[in-house]
């Protein structure tokens, strides 16, 4: 569901009073707080910069800069359109690298043709093929309007990161239908705002995150993917519609013929009742991305050269590992839903909840020799649920060193003979000790028992070797303090905090440098690592979820401190 809400961009663990603001914000930003009268009655969220439709606010409590809609401009008439952040990121990449944007889109031509075929069918109930005049014309239209081309890039970024799209395809991929959605108007106003903002203040943005130029956008995008005062946007700017270009502060003079604009704004004040009626009567018809993935090609490279490669949550359904890496891999669980076998990949593996089902025999009737080894678990309610309805079994799973997990480990090692499956065990690779804990899911209701198990196991595996650099790997995070999950996520549980003082003491005494997890399906664009304070020291937390744009995260820069 699309919600016009703030998106956090730079965080600090410390809450701030208003008297401390100027010590945190540079003078150029702190001085602006007095420009807006509403700041006097706002105890937390202070306006720093605004336009007619967007605003930059500063949260005093959390030390966070936010860009948000001011409420009247509607992002999309399409109900439940979740691509806003992808399209904003695409808008900035179009400004910075228009030629690369065109190349990226053209590389996806076969997939775009599939989307266009489906779009035309959804609109007209007419079946066409990729060589038809309708598809040729619809594909060409992508490159005739820059604001539409930006949207197409955003859709492809979403496709490559989260899977194939299925709902409301016509409004997303057919120019004739897209004109009715209001997204082009949103994009034009967003571009005006974000360029004015970064030209006026010492800020940088990748379209989702915004931060002070002097800070690092941790784990998001390299500097050449971020818009700032130093960015060269002449080429991209000159391709935009004339009226958009002319209203951007400090815009560069146009050198090309003006392109007709398709940027009618969709305002809540004008269309609010109509939008509410459409969304109230809307019946969702989206399909699980994995069900339609077979109709699309993966046009991005599947091999990476990371020396210590972190990946999780591939959940592949075609029986093949979805990426290749010839070095050391850390597989943080949920790698397969199709009994993958790979004799070449090396590294370590921790058990995820999907792995618990994936290793079981295919025959659901529990007959035949394949089931004999699993008979000791037949009487357990959690095991019965695991077989017949896994989604209802996750929070019934046993904690700690249960025999079932050892069985799972043995099966996984048969499939990945060069991989060490760490079921509450450890290994050392190039001087770094990796401890793999079996935490398939977040067990918030049994947090006390879970953390007691974590403490006992870590104490045993650390074995009084205080100086060895150590990374802890688990599928679900250990607790909130060492999790990448945002408190704004529906999956976030505020009670899943570290409540064992002895765990903090253990982290303080030993040379634990970071933690790795998966499980929460955090998109790569949200950042794959963060630095956090815990037990009186700074640790890294990595969550590397697989996508076609993300075949793994290079851990070496964090291990060596060169972040």
Measured torsion, CA atoms of residues 149, 151, 156, 158, in degrees rounded to the nearest 10: 160
Tell which residue, 552, 562, 556, has the closest CA to residue 307: 556
Sign of the Cα torsion 444, 445, 451, 457 reads negative
DSSP 254: P
Extents of the domains making up the chain: 73-207+222-296, 304-559
Q: Report the C-alpha gap between 154 and 149 in whole angstroms.
A: 9
In the prediction, which pLDDT does 11 show? 36
Alpha helices for 299-446 (secondary structure H): 353-358, 381-388, 403-415
SS3 217: coil
pTM to 2 decimals? 0.82
Q: How far apart are CA 86 and CA 524, in angstroms?
A: 11
Helix or strand (DSSP H, E) at 154: helix 146-162
Please give the C-alpha separations between residue 117 and each of 83, 161, 404, in angstroms, as whole numbers. Answer: 21, 22, 47
Residue of 415, 538, 539 whose CA lies nearest to 477: 539
d(CA 348, CA 115): 38
Contacts of 505 by beta carbon, 8 Å cutoff, 6+ apart: 535
pLDDT of residue 4: 36
Angle value at C-alpha 22, between 20 and 24, nearest 5 degrees: 75
CATH code for the structural domain at 304-559: 3.60.21
Q: Which residues of the chain register pLDDT less than 70? A: 1-24, 215-224, 245, 247-262, 364-365, 562-563
Per-residue model confidence (pLDDT) at position 279 = 78
CA dihedral 131, 86, 236, 200 (to 10 degrees): 170
Whole-number pLDDT of residue 225: 78
Q: Is-contact 518 544, C-beta < 8 A? A: yes
Task: Give residue-wise pLDDT tens across range 364-393.
Answer: 667 778 898 999 999 999 999 999 899 889
User: How large is the greatest C-alpha to C-alpha distance in the chain, in angstroms?
Assistant: 76
Q: What is the pLDDT of residues 450-502, one digit of tens each?
A: 999 999 999 999 999 999 999 999 999 999 999 999 888 888 999 999 999 99
Give me the DSSP letters along 402-435. Answer: -HHHHHHHHHHHHH-TTEEE-SSEEEEETTEEEE
Instruction: Establish how many alpha carbons lie within 13 A of residue 262's alpha carbon, considering only the half-sphere containing its beta carbon.
Output: 20
Question: What pLDDT does 215 receive?
Answer: 66
Residues 355, 22: Cα–Cα separation, whole Å: 50
Give bridge partners of residue 473 from the DSSP assignment: 436, 516
CB atoms within 10 A of CB 225: 17
Of 269, 246, 419, 428, nearest to 346 (Cα)? 419
User: What is each CA distance from 233 to 56, 149, 227, in whole angstroms?
Assistant: 22, 17, 9
Three-class SS string for 49-106? EECCCEEEEEECCCCEEEEEECCCECCCCCCCCCCHHHHHHHHHHHHHCHHHHHHHHH
pLDDT of residue 257: 36
What pLDDT does 248 receive? 64
Structure confidence at residue 369 (pLDDT): 85
- Identify the pLDDT of residue 19: 45
């Amino acid at each position: 569901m699309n919600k016009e809400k703030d998106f956090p961009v730079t965080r600090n663990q410390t809450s701030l009073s208003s008297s401390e603001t100027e010590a945190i914000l540079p003078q150029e930003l702190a001085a602006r707080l007095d420009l807006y009268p509403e700041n006097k009655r706002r105890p937390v969220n202070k306006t720093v910069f605004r336009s007619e439709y967007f605003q930059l606010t500063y949260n005093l409590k959390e030390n966070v800069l936010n860009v948000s809609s001011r409420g009247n401009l509607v992002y999309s008439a399409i109900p439940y359109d979740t691509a806003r952040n992808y399209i904003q990121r695409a808008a900035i990449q179009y400004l910075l690298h228009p030629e690369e944007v065109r190349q990226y889109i053209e590389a996806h031509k076969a997939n775009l043709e599939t989307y266009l075929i489906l779009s035309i069918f959804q609109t007209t109930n007419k079946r066409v093929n990729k060589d038809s005049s309708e598809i040729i014309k619809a594909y060409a239209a992508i490159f005739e309007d820059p604001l539409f081309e930006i949207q197409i890039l955003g859709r492809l970024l979403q496709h490559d990161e989260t899977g194939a799209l299925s709902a409301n395809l016509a409004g997303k991929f057919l120019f004739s239908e897209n004109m009715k959605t209001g997204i082009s108007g949103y994009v034009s106003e967003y571009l005006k705002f974000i360029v004015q903002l970064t030209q006026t203040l010492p800020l940088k943005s990748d379209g989702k995150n915004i931060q002070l130029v002097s800070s690092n956008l941790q784990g998001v995008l390299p500097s050449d993917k971020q818009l700032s005062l130093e960015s060269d946007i002449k080429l991209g700017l000159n391709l935009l519609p004339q009226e958009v270009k002319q209203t951007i502060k400090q815009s560069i003079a146009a050198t090309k013929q003006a392109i007709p604009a398709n940027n009618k704004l969709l305002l809540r004040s004008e269309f609010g009742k109509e939008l509410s009626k459409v969304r109230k009567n809307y019946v969702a018809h989206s399909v699980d991305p994995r069900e339609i993935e077979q109709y699309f090609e993966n046009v991005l490279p599947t091999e990476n050269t990371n020396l210590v490669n972190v990946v999780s949550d591939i959940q592949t359904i075609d029986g093949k590992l979805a990426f290749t890496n010839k070095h050391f891999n850390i597989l943080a669980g949920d790698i397969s839903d199709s009994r993958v076998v790979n004799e070449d990949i090396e590294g370590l593996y921790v058990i995820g909840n999907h792995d618990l089902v994936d290793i079981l025999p295919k025959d659901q009737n529990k007959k035949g020799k394949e089931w004999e080894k699993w008979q000791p678990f037949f009487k357990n309610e959690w095991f019965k649920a695991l077989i017949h309805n896994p989604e209802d079994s996750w929070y019934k799973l046993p904690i700690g060193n249960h025999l079932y997990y050892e069985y799972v480990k043995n099966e996984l090692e048969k499939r990945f003979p060069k991989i060490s499956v760490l079921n509450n065990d450890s290994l050392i690779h190039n001087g770094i000790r990796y401890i793999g804990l079996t935490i398939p899911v977040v067990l918030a209701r049994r947090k006390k028992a879970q953390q007691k198990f974590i403490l006992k196991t870590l104490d045993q595996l650390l074995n009084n070797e205080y100086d060895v650099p150590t990374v802890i790997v688990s599928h679900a995070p250990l607790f909130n303090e060492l999790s990448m999950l945002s408190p704004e996520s529906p999956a976030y549980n505020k009670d899943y905090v570290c409540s064992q003082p002895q765990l903090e003491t253990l982290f303080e005494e030993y040379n634990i440098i970071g933690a790795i997890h998966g499980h929460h399906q955090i998109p790569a664009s949200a950042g794959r690592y963060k630095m956090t304070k815990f037990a009186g020291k700074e640790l890294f937390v990595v969550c590397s979820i697989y996508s076609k744009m993300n075949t793994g995260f290079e851990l070496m820069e964090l291990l060596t401190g060169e972040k």
